[in-house]
Amino acid sequence: MLLIFALLELQSWFQKLAAPPRLQPLGGLVTGFFGGLTGQQGALRSIFLLRAGLAAKPFIATGVMIAILVDLARLSTYAASFAALGLNPDGQEALLVGVGTLAAFAGAWAATRHLEKLTITAIRSVVAVLMCLIGLALCAGVVG
């Protein structure tokens, strides 16, 4: 119960944050850099985009386009790493890449089917809860 109260308080605090439009390029650079450094690009990008004043559709579209560009850059690195390390392209690593790719498409498909029903408030709430869960998982050493 205390955790739920803390999450609601955090969400209330988070909703009051705002970045002026002139600082958005700087915010993109900072979140991109630290996202690349920590591997939490999507999480940091979501935090920043939620405070950019976007409606639900532009928020989702912007996040998806950035993710596509980042993943395109990653794919060449993954392919080179697989080849350099002599990893089996039919092994567990390829299975993980395939499952991750299918999960991304499934998420995009589900979002487009329900996009008309989504509000930015609902998205903010879900992102806030998920960010707290990711933070707890990082602190507990489950991810990271």
**Over the chain, what is the mean pLDDT?**
77
> Is residue 47 one of the residues assigned to a domain?
no
DSSP 1-16: -HHHHHHHHHHHHHHH
DSSP 75-102: HHHHHHHHHHHT--TTSHHHHHHHHHHH
Give the pair of three-digit tokens for residue 103.
């999960």
Per-residue 3-state assignment (H helix, E strand, C coil) for 15-30: HHCCCCHHHHHHHHHH
> Is residue 34 one of the residues assigned to a domain?
no
At residue 134, the pLDDT reads 82
- Of 79, 26, 67, 68, which is closest to residue 48 (Cα–Cα)? 26
At residue 17, the pLDDT reads 65
Residues of the chain with confidence (pLDDT) below 70 = 1, 3, 7-8, 11, 13-19, 39-40, 87-89, 144
> Is residue 102 one of the residues assigned to a domain?
yes
Domain count, the chain: 1
Packing angle, helices 56-85 and 92-114, rounded to 10: 170
User: What domain range includes position 137?
Assistant: 56-144
